[in-house]
Every structure is written in structure tokens, then in C-alpha cells.
Structure 1
Amino acid sequence: MSLLELTVRNVKRNFRLYSIYLFSMIAGVIIQFTFTSLMYNKDIMDALQNRANFQTGVGIASLVVFLFIIFFILYANSFFMKQRKKEFGMYLLYGLNERQITRMVFYETLIMSAISLFTGILIGGLLSKLFGMLLMDLMHYDQVISLSFPMPSIAATIGVFLLLAMIISVQSYIMLNRVQLTELFHAKQKMEKPVRVSSAWAMIAVLLLGMAFALISSGKGSVFWQDYATVSMIAVTVGIIAGTFLFFRQFAGWLLQAVSRRKKYYEGNTMLWTSSLRFQIRGNTLNLTFISLFSAAIMLLLSFMTINYKVQFEAVGRNLPNDIAFESLASSTNNRIDSLIRSSGHEVRYHLTQEAIVAEPVSDMGPAFENPEYYTPYLLLVSEQTYNGLMQERDPKQSLDLQGEEAVTLAQGSDFAQSYAANRQPEFKVKTDGETAFRIIEKKDYAYLGWSSDPVRSMVIKPAVLVISDEAYRSLREHADKKSFEIYGIADAGRAEELSKQVHAIVTETPGAYYSSFADVYSKQIEGSALMLFSSGFLALIAIFALASVIYFKQLREATDERLQYTILRKMGVDDRQMKSVIRKQLLFVFLPPLVLGVCHSWFIIKYYILDSVQGFTGLSATVWGIMGVYFLIYVLFYASSTNVYYKIVNENP
């Protein structure tokens, strides 16, 4: 019998194991092909405004997807090889050498790759249309996506899995050479010893996790993060990782030990499921730690990207509140731009010409304008009346009422916006023809003019604006330098990229002239955040598959190893109902703690370092809980599937 014939025979004989492996490979092909095909889809590329950025982003994300697929497939192959150690031992006994067995595994991998490539590319091509439509919907583009099977994407996917076949062969060869022949025959007969647990180490696990959660919940404004940021970061990292490891290594064992000391320990089936778990702690510690941390990373990634996406729509409007705004130029140039805007097809909702005084800051700009390096070095003093005139068109709720020396700084993007009590209002001095002192009554997280923008570089710098009372403005106006600004509100401003390029080209003929357009940033931010959310969704999908493989294969291995014990229990009179109850309780102890810890890790970080930074946006907490709810549901499905598979395996003859 040739190696090829032996390979085909193996596939037929071990169909159940191969079906698990085949499913892993097909899932990898679908994800790889579906993702890369988007980069070569003509309909998608035609709809995008920033094609180069999209291709770069997809390229980077494809690399990350590829790395996840390698981990996913190699883990599945590792399990597959361990399950077949006895079979390989027989081949070695019959005279085959390691190279021949490795070649046989390579043939098997090629057969599996061919099947998975054909099936995966077919399904992936169908799904690419669906996912392409989803991507366009995320970007708010009304574009029809056609079904396509791009040759570059097919070639890339085939290349990836040929490379994987080579890597798998190397992995198989290394695994075969690392073990002795006797080990191959007795691979399934090794029994793990229960871990020696200590109540002190169990307490340390709880203290480490408590310390990490306490530091995180103290918030970034606390003294720990303001004065000891590096130490706090190290403490949180150590607390989460070491605390999680010790939780499963010591606290779980201590808890099982405490259960075994109860008077009712021998009642019901408690002894059956706890005794098995005590022997599995040593082998499960790293897996459960990995699952907890990986679960937290998945939820954190997806939550962050979803929040980032939802925030972008409103954040762009906060950063660039004017559809088109530019510094007033010569009358002929202003008229030329006005004609261009009105003939562009974008209806003009309003057009205002507004004046501001140019002043130099005498006081330190830091307290008035957070991160002053993002602002112009000069100030623009805007009268209350002028400011309120624009607010009538934009948002009347933002109107101000100022008296005398009162002033409001417009520090859009500030994390510490606040109103000051009468006895705590900081003084802020400015210089026009002479020095003038104002009392800041509020630092407002709002923009009057917004960032200056560029169709290529997006946001450049933002004007430092101080709103002052009308009487203060009148007293300074006569002897001060002034600038005027043309502010337009237009319909469908998000799709005015071409108009913005034309207006920007005219304005920049005057060096240093201010220009700002909502469209310059909107398409880049929305396309970028949509792509990141889309990519993170794919990464989360394959990460969940990887996580499922870790859980599923581990339980499959343990169920296979415990068939003899369950056969003995059945002979002793334990019925199916009790067996199912034992399996459910045993697996619940494996599934529930990693889920709870993963949710806690991710929620604390999301709540205190993401949600607290975007408090002005509604519905974000519900979104995060929705993501965690979906993850919980998927996890429940994993649990139900594992209990069913576990029960079927232990009912087979050992």
C-alpha cells in the first residue's frame, strides 16, 4: 500500500477527527478569502473617497487575520496529532520512519487544504457580497455590491494555505521526533496529579485581582495615575495576569477542597464532578487563564472599535462644526467662492460673515485651553452677539449671556470642561493695543470655528477662541487688528469632498488664510472607523473560533481520556440523567469562571478608561452591554455544544 493510499484510508477511518480539523480549515479559508476579496472588489473601491488608506488598512488587517489563522490551524493540528499518537506508534512499529509519516501528514494536509479551499472560497465568495454590503452600510454609502471572485484574492488564499501546509508538516515532524516510541503508545494513559493548594495563595489571587480592579476604578484623574502612572500600569498588568492565573491554579482548587470537606459532600453527585475537576486543575490552569484574558481582549477590542465608530459621526461635527468656513479674502475672491458653492449642487442653508479681534495671550494658555500646542499661538476674541448669531443657526442651546469682564474659553475636546464659581474664576490677560484682564466663568467643550483642515492632511490646527461680552468687545475693537470669516451651512456636507478641494485651492492662494471644511475629515474618519470596526469584527470572529477550538479540543481530549471512568460509573448503576448532571456541573465550573473574569476585566477597563472619556455621547453603555450579551450567548452555545459532545464521547466504548 502506497503512502497516498494509506492517507486516503486514514481520512475515511478517522472521519470524525478529520471533520473537526476540516471545519477549522474551512472557517480559516472563508475568513481569509472574504476579507481579502474586499480589497479587490471594484464596486467597493469606486465608492470610497480614500482608496489608498483603505488598501493600507485592509493589508494590515489581512496580516493580523493571517496570524490568527496560523494560530487557529496549528492549535487544531496539535490536538489532532496528539489524538493520533498511538496510530503513529503503530506506523513506526511497522517500519515507517518519521519522514514517511511526515510526508503522509503532508498529503493529508494537502487533501484537506484542497477540500477546504474549494468549499471556503465558494462560501467566502458568496459571503463577500454580504460583507461588502455591510461595509458600505457602515460607511453610509449607497452602493450596490456585485458578486465576485477576484483572482488576486483566490491566489493569495491558495498561497496562504500552501504555506500553512508546509508549516503543519514541519510542526508534525517536530512533534514526532520529540517523543519516544513507548510514549506514543501510552500517550493517553498519563494521569495528572491534583495541585497542592494553599489558602494563602488563594487569598493572594483575590487580593491581586482586587488591587487591579481598585486601581482601574480609581480613574485616570486619581493620584495613582497622575503621579505614579508607570507603577500603576505595572501593578494592574501583574494583578490581572498573575491574579487570574492564581485564581484558577489555587483559588479554584481551594474552593473544590472546601466543597469536599462539607458534610453533604457524599450526597448526590457532588463527589463525582468535583473529584474529576481536582485532577484537571493542573492541565486546565493555563487554558482557563488564556480563555479569560483572551475573552477580555475580544470584548475590549470590539467594544472600543464600536464606541470609536459611533462617536465619529458626532465627533467630526464637534471638531469641525462648520460645513465650510474660511477667512474673508478680497471681495472678488469671496464672490468667486460664493458662486462656486451655490452652483455646486449643495443647497446653501445659511451664510454668515463674522468678525473677531486678534489678540496675544499674556497669561499661560494651559489652564484656559487644554493642550495649547493644538491651538494657534494667537487668540480670536469674539463678541457675545456674534457668537450667539451663529448659534441661532447651529445650536441655540449653546448661546451665552456675558457681562463686563466675563469670558468663556472654547476648548473643544477638553476632558475637564467646567464652569467656575464666582470666587474661583481664573484671570486671563490678553494684549491688543494694551493689556486687558478677563474673568473666565466657563471652559466650554465646544468649537466656534473648529480645526483648520486640509483635503489631504485632514485636521491641522484649531483657532483659540475667547468669547467676551459685547461691551468689552466694543471697547477693544477700535484700536485692534481684526479678522473676518465666511461661514457656510450647506446640505449634504459629508459628500462635499470635491467642492471642498476646489474652495481650499482658492483660499490657500493666500498664504496662512484659515480654512475649515466638515467634508475634509468626515469621509476619512467614517471610512477609517468603519474599516476598523469591520476588521475588528472579523478578528473577533476568528478569535472566537480560536477560543472555541481551545475549549472544544480540550474538552474532547478530556472526554476521550475519561471514557473508562464513565464506563465504570455506568456499571455501578449511575443512570443517564445523573451522568448528564455530572457533565453539566463539571463543565460549568470550567466555562463560568473564565467568562465572569473576562467580562470583569473588559468592563472595568471600558467603563473607567473609555466610557468615562466620552460621557457626552448617549447609548454607548448599552452598546457595550449588548456586545457582552452577544458574547455571553455565544459562550452559552459553546457550553451546550461541549456538554453534548462530552456526553456522546464518554458513552462510546473505551
Structure 2
Amino acid sequence: MYSKIALSNIKKSYKDYTIYFLTLILAVCIFYSFNSIDSQKALIDMKSSNAKYISKITELMSGVSIFVSIILGSLILYANNFLIKKRKKELGIYMTLGMGKRKISRILVAETSIVGGISLIAGLILGMAASQVLSAFTLKLFDVSMNEYRFTVSISAIGKTILYFGIMFLLVMIFNAFVISKYKIIDLLAADRKNENMKFKSPVIYLSSFLLSAASLVLAYGTILKIGIDTRNPMFMPSLILSIVGTVLFFFSLSGVILYIVNNNKNVYLKGLNIFVVKQINSKVNTNFLSMSLICLMLFITILVLATGISLKKNYEVGLEKITPFDASLIVYGDDKNREDALNKINFKIGKNEKYVTYNEYESVVELKDLFRTGDNILKHYGASFVKISDYNKMLKLKGEKEINLNKDEVLILSNYNKLVKPINEELKNSSKVNIKGKEYIVKNNKAIEGNLDTFIGSDNYCTIVINDEFLHGCKVFKSVVNIMYSDKNREENNKKYEEITKNSINGKYKSLNIPHIYACSKDDIYSHEKGSTTSILFVGIYLGIVFLITSMAVLALQQLSEASDSIERYKSLKRIGANKKMINKTIFLQTLIYFSLPVMLALIHSVIGVAVVNKEISNYSQIDIRFSALITALIFAVVYAGYFYTTYTGYKNIVKNSI
């Protein structure tokens, strides 16, 4: 019997359930998709160290999914609370007819079970399709051929999705039973007569708060743009806090400021039903300013992550070529004797299938500000190390490149740090002469030669001067390096050899040998590690970004639909004074559009600043082009925004239409 009543209620109120269904289906779809990554056979079968990162990504997704399930569970409870509030009168009639609270709870349990079951099935079907797109995207990220792609369904992801959402729906059932037990018949029957009182503070408070919010945001923006992502800077954290405070003050004061401005423009205020629209927006923003602030910040994170994530990964991995000129490098911090002694003590042997050269890097004897005789503030903080031209030519020969001859008064300047490359190139454009220890030298290259001198996980070549050998006679060596190129054979075995050296050095295995610090790495391991790391971060970012986007849009939608139910008496009054259907629908459209747009607009402003800061930070290492990411972000955002906006507008109209 309860199932029949529940099914009848769902059929009768299916329009009210639209947002609830949409949110549940999208939540299930996203949850399944990101937890089914490990099901793609091509990724499982990868015969490289990339394979271990698939396992790590899967573990990471499992951990993040717990956090995501808390967000989605809270959202489902929030949406369910909206439905209960809307049906108070219906539940009151059940009680009036003699139905006990326990029986009403059973009906709600049956409804939750039916809605949950339908949403799970629909979400999983949609998720299976979405997961194929995600699998193809993952294969692309790891440079696996699409010929290896196969349609797959993850049984473990289905089980996990059913378990997590089953727990969520169980919590909803418990919540419903608790809420019903607290209601009284009189409160339920009179629910639609209760209306929210609009309490407005003095315009001075709103205007002062708005000016304070604007000042806070401008100050926060300016500071963040100046210091960048420098967590060690004492102004970094206060700037973030100031931006959050500014956001909250913005939404707190916005409704009052809009009302004040429009109220002072009688041509706008008294035109059509604008007075009604402004009062409605004022009421809801004034009531929900905290939730709108949170939504704005969530949308900001979503836009920032999605707009920069893909391009950041792509551009960063393109930069890997610059930092890995050799198949492997072994670095010993000390001179030749230290290097030979250290390598002998760890029993290091160059393999038969390996070609190698050695070079020394000498300590800086000149600062860049003296090298170029410049006032550039950036160059003031860096010095230049030195390398012999004979060593540099050995490296060029190993790479199969043409050797370079230097006259006694000539040097080469190398740099792989974008922050320095630009000012160095500007200096070289103005003059090809540099000053080294009181003597002028001509720079043979008119631009800084970019790239590392060894294979290293980061850009360790800030500025290196290649000079004739005799200049460095008696200078102190601070780093001695062995650069290696493989033949096609035993590549994996060679990689393991160098990985083992670094592992032993970090674990302290060489400590008893009384040798300087040793570091070794291979090109393949750097590529694998960086791709695994950037892909993991990208996946988490996209996962949370889409969840935040859905959550934000769903909360905005539910708040608007809740407002529709609370404002029925006002719409009845509009109809009594002669407002026709077209005029009422226009007010609904404007309210919904403005309410949806306010947090999005401020989030976009935040995002412009955020993208600029990220771009500035990353440009120190590689150039970033966010056009592709921005296009994808705009597409995802537009689809979700338009879907929720249209559904909310349609639902709002139906609520008003059926009530007046």
C-alpha cells in the first residue's frame, strides 16, 4: 500500500522532483565515472612505470570520493528538505485523516527508495557512457594509443556507487523520520500561510559594507597579483582571508545597495513590475548571503581549476623536453675527485650500451646585475655559474649536435628559467657585451640558450656562462655530473639502476661511505613521474570542480524554488491587481536570471585574478596557453548552468501557475 501511495505521489509531483532527479543523476554519473578509471584494460596493461600511477590515481580517487560523498550527501539532504517543506500541507492532511507519523514516514521512505533507485539506474547508465569519454581522455593524457581502447564497465565502481549512495539515501530516510516526528498538525496545515518577513537595515549600513567589500577585494587582488603564490610571504594568507571577507560583505550589502540605487531611480523602480522583482531579489539575497558567498567561492575554484588544469598539464609536460636533454644524469656535489671516489664506493659502472660524458660546474664568481651592469630588479638576486667550453662541446657531441668554437673574448649564456630568460634576452638585445671580473666579453648568442645541462627534475639552470677553459683554472667546482645516452637495449634496466642510486641516497644507505650527496635520474622516470603527478592533480581538480559546479547550481535552484513556494501569496496579490500571465512569467525569469548570475559574476572576476596569478607563476618555468582549457570550461559551465537555469525557471513557473 505504501509503495502505491509513494508511486502515486511521485507521479503527481514529478515536476517538483525534476531538480532532485537531475542532481541525483548527475551526482551518480560523476561519482561512477571518476571511480571507474582502473577498468580500462589499455591502462592496466601499460608496460611502463606509468602503470603504477594509474593505481595511485585510483587510490587518490577513492580517498577524494569520501570527501565528495560528504558534499553530495549534504546536497541531497538539502534538496530533500526543500521537498519536505514544500509538502507540509499535504503531510498535514494525511495527519488530519488519521494517518500516524510512523505511517507517513514509511510513505516517505518508500518515495526515497523509488526516487533513489530510479536515479541510481539512470545515473549509472549515463555514467557508463561518460566513463568511456573519461577513459579515452585518460589514455590521451598518458600517450596510450586509442587503438588499445575498449568499452568497459567497472563492477567495483558500480558497487562503490551503490554503497555510497545507499548510505546517503539511508541518511535521508532517517532525516525524514526525524523531521516528521517534530511536526505538529497546525504547523503543517498553516505552512503555506506563513511568509518570510523582509527585514531591511539602514541604507547607510549596506552602502558602508559595500564600499568596505570593494576596498577589501581591491586590496586583496592587488596584493595577490604582486606577491603571487608565495605561501611564505606574510601577506599571502591575510590576502586570502581578506578576499573571503570581501566576498561575504559583497553579498551581505548587495541587496540593500541595489534597492537603494533602483529606489532612487523612479523611472526604473516604478516601471512594470520592477518594484516587485527588486523586492524579491532583495529578500532572498539578504537571507542567503552566506550561502551565496560560499557558492561564489566554489564556482571560483571550479573555474580556476578547469580553466587552467588541462593547459597547465599540457604546457608543463612540453617543458619536460628542456629539462631532460640526456637519457640519464648522475650528479655528485663536489669536484672530479669526489665524483670518482663516490662512484667507486657505490660500485657504479657505466653499461656497455651507454655512452657518457662528464662535466664540472663552477661556483658563481659574478652576479647578474654586475654581468650586465643593469638596474633590473629581477637580475639583482641571481648569480651565474660557469662551465668550460670543452665540457659543453662534449655534451653537444653526445647529443649529436654541432660543436661551438669560442674566441678568447667570447662567451655563451645559457638559462632555462623563464623569469630570467626574458630580462637576459632584453639585455642581450641592447648590448652583446658583458662584464666578468672587470673584463668585457662578447656574448656569441644573441638570445639565452634554453635548456638544462643535465637531466634533472626541475629547471636548475638559472644562468650558466660557457667560457674558455683557461678562465676557470683554479676555480672551485661545486657540482660534477655524468651525462648518459642509452642505446635502444636495456632501457628499463638502466632506468632502474639510476632510480636505485637516488633511493639509496635519500634513505641514507650511502651515509656510512663518507661521500657527498649523490642524485641520479633518468628521462623516462622524470616523464613518468611528472605525467603521473600532473594527471593525478588534474583528475582531482576536474572531479571536485564538476562536483562543486553541480552543487552550486543545485543549491541556487533549490533556493529559488523554495522562494517560489514562500512567495505564493505575493503572486496572488499581483494577479488580483491585474498582472497577467506574461508579466508574472517575466518577473520569474528576471528573478531567476539575476539570482543565478550574481555569484557567477563575482566568481568570474575572482577567476580573472586567479588565472593571472597562476599564469604569472607558471610562466617562470614554461608558457601557458589557456585557450583550450577556457573553451572546455565555458562549454561545461554553459551546459550545467543552462540546464539548471531552465529547469529552475520552468519549475518556478509551474509552482506559481498551480498555486494561483
TM-score, normalised to structure 1, is: 0.78
Partner Cα distance (1:580, 1:533) in 2: 42
Match of 2:652 in 1: 646
Corresponding residue for 1:375? Answer: none
Pair 1:503–1:521, CA change in 2 (3 A): closer
Cα distance 1:358–1:391, how it changes in 2: closer, same or farther (>3 A)? closer
Query: Contact conserved, 1:29 with 1:121, CA < 8 A, in 2?
Result: yes
Q: Quick one: structure 1 residues 36 and 259, their matched pair in 2 at CA, closer, same or farther if it must change by over 3 Å?
A: same
What CA distance in whole angstroms lies between the structure 2 residues aligned with 1:53 and 1:437? 55
Partner of 1:516: 521
- After TM superposition, the structure 1 = structure 2 runs for residues 247-266 of structure 1, keeping only pairs within 5 Å, are 247-264=250-267, 265-266=269-270
Q: Cα 1:474–1:609, aligned 2, differ >3 Å: closer, same or farther?
A: closer
Q: Secondary structure at the match of 1:16?
A: coil
In the TM superposition, residue 117 of structure 1 has moved relative to its aligned partner by 2.6
Task: Indicate which of 599, 618, 631 corresponds to 2:604.
Answer: 599
From 265, 272, 295, the equivalent of 1:268 is: 272
Aligned match of 1:49:
51
- Identity within the alignment, %: 19
Shift of the alpha carbon at 1:167? 0.9
Partner of 1:608: 613
Q: Deviation of residue 571 (structure 1)?
A: 4.8
| Contact map agreement 1:417 1:444 (CA 8 A) in 2 | no
Q: Which residue of 2 aligns with 1:300?
A: 304
Q: Distance in 2 between matches of 1:267 and 1:653?
A: 26
Structure 2 CA distance for aligned equivalents of residues 219 and 103 of structure 1: 54
- Partner of residue 190, structure 2: 186
Give SS of 2:197's match: coil
Partner of 1:633: 638
* Pair 1:560–1:463, CA change in 2 (3 A): closer
Pairs within 5 Å for 1:28-427: 28-47=27-46, 48-50=50-52, 51-143=54-146, 144-188=148-192, 189-219=194-224, 222=227, 229-238=233-242, 240-264=243-267, 265-326=269-330, 333-334=349-350, 336-338=352-354, 353-357=356-360, 381-384=386-389, 386-387=391-392, 390=395, 412=417, 419=424
Shift of 1:46: 1.7
- Count of residues in Structure 1 that have an aligned counterpart in Structure 2: 611
User: How far apart in 2 are the matches of 1:282 and 1:486?
Assistant: 65
Greater shift in the superposed pair: 501-510 or 176-185: 501-510
Pairing 1:469-484 to 2, within 5 Å after superposition: 469-473=467-471, 475-476=473-474
Cα distance in 2, alignment partners of residues 437 and 92 from structure 1: 98
The alignment partner of 1:268 has SS state of: coil
Q: Distance in 1 between matches of 2:57 and 2:116?
A: 30
Does the CA-based 8 Å contact 2:329-2:521 persist in structure 1?
yes
Aligned position for 2:482: 485
TM normalised by structure 2 equals 0.77
Amino acid at match of 1:284: N
Distance 1:412 1:394, change over 3 A: farther
Distance 1:100 1:334 in 2: 80
Cα distance change, pair 205–650 in 1 and its aligned pair in 2 (3 A)? same
Between the aligned partners of 1:235 and 1:515, the Cα distance in structure 2 is: 40
Closer/same/farther in 2, CA of residues 113 and 415 from structure 1, 3 Å limit: farther
Which amino acid counterpart does residue 646 of structure 1 have in structure 2?
Answer: Y
In structure 2, distance between residues paired with 1:439 and 1:547: 61
Helix, strand or coil at the partner of 1:15: coil
How far residue 576 of structure 1 moved from its aligned partner, in angstroms, is 4.1
1:112 shift after superposition: 2.2
CA distance in 2, matches of 1:70, 1:395: 59
In structure 2, the residue corresponding to 1:147 is in which secondary structure? Answer: coil
1:532 aligns with 2:537: yes
The higher relative CO (CA closer than 8 Å, separation ≥ 6) is in 2
The Cα RMSD (Å) is 4.7
What letter matches 1:187 in structure 2?
A
Aligned-residue offset at 1:461: 11
5 Å-filtered alignment, 1:425-444, equals none
Residue 81 of structure 1: CA displacement? 1.6
1:411/1:445 contact within 8 Å kept? yes
Residues 389 and 466, structure 2, Cα contact 8 Å, conserved in 1? yes
Cα distance change, pair 84–476 in 1 and its aligned pair in 2 (3 A): same
Q: Write the distance in 2 (CA, Å) between the matches of 1:190 and 1:213.
A: 38
Q: Deviation of residue 425 (structure 1)?
A: 8.7
Q: CA deviation at 1:384?
A: 3.4
Question: Which residue type is aligned with residue 534 of structure 2?
Answer: S
Is contact 1:383–1:469 with CA below 8 Å preserved after alignment? yes
Contact 2:252 2:286 in 1 (8 A): yes
Runs (5+) with no aligned partner, structure 2: 332-339, 372-383, 511-516
User: C-alpha distance in 1, partners of 2:480/2:536?
Assistant: 40
In 2 relative to 1, CA 322–266 (structure 1 residues): closer, same or farther, beyond 3 Å? same
Separation in 2, partners of 1:610, 1:299: 14
* C-alpha separation in 2, matches of 1:598 and 1:461: 34
CA distance in 2, matches of 1:592, 1:465: 48
Counterpart of 1:558 in structure 2 is 563
Q: Pick closer, same or farther for the CA change 1:467–1:107 going to 2, 3 Å.
A: same
Q: CA deviation at 1:140?
A: 1.7
Q: Is the 8 A contact 2:213 2:245 kept in 1?
A: yes
Alignment check: 8 A CA contact 2:139 2:145 kept: yes
Mapped partners of 2:275, 2:281: distance in 1 = 10
Match of 1:500 in 2: 495
What is the identity, as a one-letter code, of the residue corresponding to 2:353?
I
**1:60/1:303 Cα in 2 relative to 1: closer, same or farther (>3 Å)?**
farther
Q: CA deviation at 1:597?
A: 0.5
Structure 1's 92 and 142: CA in aligned 2 closer, same or farther, altered over 3 A? same
- Matched to 2:599, the amino acid is P
Q: Structure 1 residues 509 and 405, CA, compared in 2 at 3 Å: closer, same or farther?
A: farther
The CA distance in 2 between the partners of 1:231 and 1:480, in whole Å, is 38
What are structure 1's unaligned runs of at least 5 residues? Answer: 339-350, 369-378, 429-435, 452-458
Shift of residue 309 of structure 1? 1.2
Equivalent residues of 1:326, 1:513 under 8 A apart: yes
Quote the Cα distance in structure 2 between the aligned partners of 1:598 and 1:243: 12
